[in-house]
Amino acid sequence: MPSRPRTAVVTGAAQGIGQFWAQRLATDGMNVVIADLSPGDETVARVTAAGGQAIAIVCDVTDETSVQNLRDEVEDRFGGTDVLVNNAITYAQGSLLKLTLKDWRKVLSVGVDGLFITSRALVPSMKERGWGRIINIASNTFGLAMPGMVPYITAKGGVIGFTRSLASELGACGITVNCIAPGLTRTEQSAQALGASGMFERIAAMQAIPRTVKPEDLVGALSFLASDDAAFVTGQTFVVDGGLVRH
């Protein structure tokens, strides 16, 4: 066991599923850093109300200077990063011929470049300790190949490839790298966007467990992968979608 509480950095945790990742890691006894372009005050409030410790740092994962500032502040406050959850992503939906190069680059910049920039900045403190957990958030859409989501699914495929390759690179350092691929999850934001469309119900009907995925369904996988119990698990993609994608 560590002599001090471990520290987790969760990108894109100001809202949505990221809030639940942050809350669970705090419940597990970690200091939590919410790194997001948007203010993370609501997530901090949720964590502290549950008895955890959290701070929010405004950070653009596509900007090296912003991420370096994040790293420096985490080191000053907590002595470094032990767990990194690469959760930040953005969206651009539409058919190939309607998407612009700007749309494409925006999604790939956050979803893939951000993964590289953030991991490269925070891995050194893990290597110094000989212990670390990197948990990247993909999506079950990579296994479904749904139309109208080319940039998003491409980015999530990149997340899986990055996970497998980096796991091979860091395994001897005591650092594991894994991936969680959630199904369509009902959050406040997704419910506002899709609640009236019937999509939640249609997808749930195709799952082995025929109900809509909730954030609470996802956090157990995160808790395990961030723990000492997962010390011999690396390079893996955990699909958590009620059995919609069956490999």
User: Which residues belong to the active site?
Assistant: 152
Secondary structure element (H or E) that encloses residue 141, with its range: helix 141-144
Secondary structure element (H or E) that encloses residue 158, with its range: helix 150-170
The dihedral of CA 170, 174, 175, 178: what is its sign? positive
Burial class (CB in 10 A: 0-12, 13-18, 19+), 118: buried
Edge-to-edge order in the sheet of strand 175-182: 53-58, 31-36, 7-11, 83-86, 132-137, 175-182, 237-240
Q: Which residues, 6+ apart, have CB-to-CB distance to 124 below 8 Å?
A: none
Residue 83 β-bridge partners: 8, 133
Q: What angle is formed at CA 77 by the lines to CA 44 and CA 29, rounded to 5 degrees?
A: 55
CB 206 within 8 A of CB 163: no
Of 219, 220, 233, 19, nearest in space to 133 by CA: 233
Rg (CA), the chain: 17
Alpha carbon 70 to its chain's center: 17
Q: Which residues, 6+ apart, have CB-to-CB distance to 121 below 8 Å?
A: 64, 67, 68, 70, 71
